[in-house]
């Protein structure tokens, strides 16, 4: 996990990956321990959303602040 972002009273973990590996061990560990509403990963992979997990392509990082407000 690379960043913790606070938006109002919510806290979101954000992981940034340079490769296409699907592993997000530290991000998943954080989610298991603290139960955030959403967890985010920025990577070269395409957009994906599964339950509370959101993957954004690196080029779409500018969208991230808008997702915190959902």
1-47 per-position pLDDT tens digit: 899 999 889 999 999 998 887 777 888 899 999 999 999 999 999 99
Backbone angles phi, psi at 13, to 5 degrees: -85, 145
Q: How far, in Å, CA of 46 to CA of 56, rounded?
A: 7
Q: Domain count of the chain?
A: 1
User: For residue 70, what pLDDT is reported?
Assistant: 61
Per-residue pLDDT reduced to its tens digit, 54-63:
999 999 999 9
pLDDT at 3: 93
> Is 40:54 a contact under the CB 8 Å cutoff?
yes
Domain enclosing residue 64, as ranges: 3-68
């Amino acid at each position: 996990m690379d960043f913790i972002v606070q938006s109002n009273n919510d806290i979101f973990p954000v992981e940034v990956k340079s490769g296409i590996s699907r592993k997000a061990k530290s991000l998943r560990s954080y989610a298991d321990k603290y139960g955030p509403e959403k967890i985010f990963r920025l990577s070269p992979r395409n957009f994906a959303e599964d339950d509370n997990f959101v993957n954004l392509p690196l080029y779409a990082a500018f969208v991230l602040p808008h997702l915190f407000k959902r």
